[in-house]
Chain A
Amino acid sequence: MILAALLLVFAVLGAIWTPHSPDLPNYANALKPPSLTHLFGTDATGRDMFSRVMNGAQRSVGAALLVLGAVFLIGLCVGILAALAGGVTDILLMRLVDITMTLPPLVLGFVVLGLLGPGLFNLLIAIIIGEWAYYARLARSLSLDAHRRPHVVAARMAGIPGWRIIWGHMLPGVALQLGIYATLQLGIMISIISGFSFLGLGVQPPAAEWGALLSESRLFFPIAPWLLIAPAFAIFLSILSANMLGNALRDVASPRAAR
């Protein structure tokens, strides 16, 4: 939890302040090893690597949070609608989910980026198109389960309107479980965004992003290995903290099971 909070602070701080300019080249300082002035050294154009990792956090973590927020909301709405409406609506929505899930995410990403062109925004759209279906399927299953719970049946028998049952009885539980799944996916999402940026399909230079930083640094690995270590370690820490956050949330969600 603390690690995740620190990462978030790091990402927010990186968006408004960095010790050096993350984008301004300084060729006199090129490929300097780590020192007190440049904690992670400098890259081939003399930019401070610590500042670029800091500045890149907003794109890596921020973009992952944005994608997860979007697929969470789409999945939640589609899942609850399918579960409660049933019948033709359920069948149509779930067949759409099936079709989306049959498309390999990587291929789908390449196709969408091929059609729309590379860039962070288009990358986010590509990931959302590939991911929403998994959340919708899970939300539907959780909603069906919640709808059968005794407290929901009791509320229906008491004459509580459907919207209040959804809002008060079902949504908090379904959203919490879906949120835990999303949190556990945060690390994977960061690695997907970094992966596409590494291939040059996501964030475009000179903007900093952890995957893009890895891509820029790989050519200099034999003479400046620190350039790879800094963004790789940032990705590692972010995935670790996201998984730990997911586990902590799961314990909060089921206090009896955690006892």
Chain B
Amino acid sequence: MEAVLQCQDLKITYPGGGTPVQGVSFALMPGECFALVGGSGAGKSTIAKALAGLHRHETEVSGSLLINGRDMARAQAGDWRAVRGQQIGFVAQNPWESCDPLRPVRDHVAEAWRCQGLSTTWPEIAARLSGHGVAEAGARMRQHPHTWSGGMLQRASIAAAGALTPPILIADEPTSALDADRAQSVLAALRSLGAAVVLISHDIGLVLRNADRVGVLHGGTLVEQGTPTALRDRAVHPETRRLLAALGTLPERDSATNATPILRIEGVSASYDKGRVAALTCANLAVSSGDIIGVQGPSGCGKSTLLRLAMGIERPTSGVIWRADMLNRPGAILPVFQDPVGSLVPHWPIWRSVVEPLTAPRQHRLPRDQKRKKVAEALARVGLAEIDPESRPSELSIGQCQRVALARATISEPALIVADEPTSALDSPSAWLVSRLLRDAADRGAAVLVVSHDSTFLDRLVDRVVGMEAGRTFAPDGMAT
């Protein structure tokens, strides 16, 4: 059987001379799912773009890139246009960004035919969407992308990518914006097309569960490849072992070290746009010191609103939020955000961001050398002892920025740490480290309230999960909290 896609010594060079990818060789057989996995900056997305001819025209692709026997390494834009859609489909990471927000979803799918000069009918599009599990597709496809959930819209993107039944699909982190159940169903939809799939992901667990073969990228080079079983059992390269270590669990702990709640949210409702959009409806939550509570639910279900209410930066329209005295002092509740780079002041050296909670007026004033010592301790605690405290956030990786943000969130020993999707921008090893650091903070007595769609992360970290759906909280067994 002949490979549908074959890379031989693929090298990608940026106009400035940087080579994010070099010496990458692999073959994709018909119907096979080959996953490329690696940490941040390993070159995954650069390869994905090059495989679909979506790289910037100044970027040089050398080596051999055979698509159904035709070398596309030095192909021009016109050649790629003929190949895309017919030979290669592309599914991007963020379904909302992939769609024109001003046009209904059906136009987004129809574009796959139109851009090749072909025509289609609305019933045909509705049938394709139904085939990918979109309920009431005929009516729903007339809606605009923002009214669709991420999982449903990603299915529409898959329907568009597979419209002309291309033998190859490139999927660049297609499930990173989705929770675990939806991720699994979206991957099933992707495989159902029968095409060979190049699956790009930072999630080693997901890749091992779903791919036929896995390639591990590190520093722009394919350092190891094999079947999931072979990699899991006989990993050779240190990067593969590092990624696999992220599948490990944390030690067992006694949950709810203190049964007296420090924060109680009772029957709380919240709305936006002068009451026209209900964000929360009768939500309940109780948090005690040392608790690690996960909040899980689909996009737009009110998770982030619940966190902002817990932090006290938004007010409820009804219901009661009770905080113990220990939470009413400034700095008692500290946040960790989804965007690690934006969490740090861009023009400050990182030590200044880390030490800031200790400089609040009601904190005990520390001399400069004491502050420096505290910063060094906090950075060491998050595994960044070797980093220069004078570095700016732009000089660090995204994972390092999140660890600096965690150092800041824990330096003043807050009573409650509120984390909003803290691992969504991180690769598996960094996500594992974040869960360990949050666990450490809880072990030191802080309560941790964490919102995440990453089930692996929550399963590893939290004592209990509060589910959310359409603004309501419920316990995992389905009982309203």
Say how far B86's CB is from chain A's closest CB, in angstroms: 34
| Selected interface stretch from A38-46, A117-125, A168-176 | A168-176
Cβ contacts A149-173/B at 8 Å (1 or 0 each): 1110111111111000000110011
**A151 pairs with B353, CB closer than 8 A:** yes
Task: Confirm or deny: B181 has a beta carbon within 8 angstroms of a beta carbon on chain A.
Answer: no
Interface on chain B toward A: helix, strand, loop, or mixed SS? loop
**B342 pairs with A149, CB closer than 8 A:** yes
Supposing A150-B335, A150-B339, A255-B394 touch, asked if A157 and B313 sit within 8 A by C-beta, the answer is yes
**A158 pairs with B357, CB closer than 8 A:** yes
Closest to B358 in A: A158
Count the A-B residue pairs with Cβ separation under 8 angstroms: how many? 59
**A156 pairs with B345, CB closer than 8 A:** no
Supposing A150-B335, A172-B347, A173-B347 touch, asked if A159 and B342 sit within 8 A by C-beta, the answer is no
**A159 pairs with B408, CB closer than 8 A:** no
**A160 pairs with B347, CB closer than 8 A:** no
| Selected interface stretch from B29-37, B251-259, B326-334 | B326-334
Cβ contacts B100-119/A at 8 Å (1 or 0 each): 00000000000000000000
Distance in angstroms between the alpha carbons of A168 and B359 in the assembled complex:
13
In chain B, positions 330-360 with a C-beta closer than 8 Å to chain A are: 330-331, 333-335, 337, 339, 341-348, 353, 356-357, 359-360
Say how far A142's CB is from chain B's closest CB, in angstroms: 14
Closest to B339 in A: A150
Distance in angstroms between the alpha carbons of A169 and B348 in the assembled complex:
9
Which of A154, A156, A161, A173 is packed against the most chain B CB atoms within 10 Å?
A154
The answer, among B334, B344, B346, for a CB contact under 8 Å with A158, is: B334
Q: How large is the interface on A (under 10, 10 to 19, 20 to 34, 35 or more residues)?
A: 10 to 19
**B360 pairs with A160, CB closer than 8 A:** yes
Distance in angstroms between the alpha carbons of A173 and B345 in the assembled complex:
9
Supposing A150-B343, A151-B343, A155-B356 touch, asked if A256 and B335 sit within 8 A by C-beta, the answer is no
Closest to B352 in A: A168
Cβ contacts A248-259/B at 8 Å (1 or 0 each): 000000011000
Distance in angstroms between the alpha carbons of A158 and B409 in the assembled complex:
9
**A161 pairs with B361, CB closer than 8 A:** yes
Distance in angstroms between the alpha carbons of A234 and B356 in the assembled complex:
49
Supposing A154-B334, A168-B345 touch, asked if A160 and B356 sit within 8 A by C-beta, the answer is yes
B347 proximity list for chain A (CB < 8 A): 172-173
Distance in angstroms between the alpha carbons of A88 and B170 in the assembled complex:
52
Say how far A259's CB is from chain B's closest CB, in angstroms: 9
Distance in angstroms between the alpha carbons of A157 and B337 in the assembled complex:
13
Supposing A159-B330, A159-B331, A256-B394 touch, asked if A154 and B343 sit within 8 A by C-beta, the answer is yes
Distance in angstroms between the alpha carbons of A256 and B356 in the assembled complex:
24
Distance in angstroms between the alpha carbons of A150 and B334 in the assembled complex:
11
Say how far A69's CB is from chain B's closest CB, in angstroms: 21
Supposing A151-B343, A153-B313, A169-B345 touch, asked if A158 and B331 sit within 8 A by C-beta, the answer is yes
Closest to A151 in B: B345
In chain A, positions 136-150 with a C-beta closer than 8 Å to chain B are: 149-150
The answer, among A151, A156, A161, A256, for a CB contact under 8 Å with B313, is: A156
Closest to B344 in A: A151
B359 proximity list for chain A (CB < 8 A): 160
Given contacts A153-B335, A158-B331, A159-B362, 5 further A-B contacts (CB under 8 A): A151-B344, A155-B356, A157-B313, A168-B345, A255-B394
Q: Which 8 A-B pairs have the closest CB atoms?
A: A159-B330, A159-B360, A150-B337, A158-B357, A150-B343, A255-B394, A158-B331, A159-B331
Sample (16) of A-B pairs whose CB atoms are under 8 Å apart? A150-B335, A150-B343, A151-B343, A151-B353, A154-B356, A154-B405, A154-B408, A157-B335, A158-B331, A158-B356, A158-B360, A159-B330, A160-B359, A172-B347, A173-B346, A256-B394
Taking Cβ atoms with an 8 Å cutoff, the residues of A that contact B are: 149-151, 153-161, 168-169, 172-173, 255-256
Taking Cβ atoms with an 8 Å cutoff, the residues of B that contact A are: 311, 313, 329-331, 333-335, 337, 339, 341-348, 353, 356-357, 359-363, 394, 405, 408-409, 412
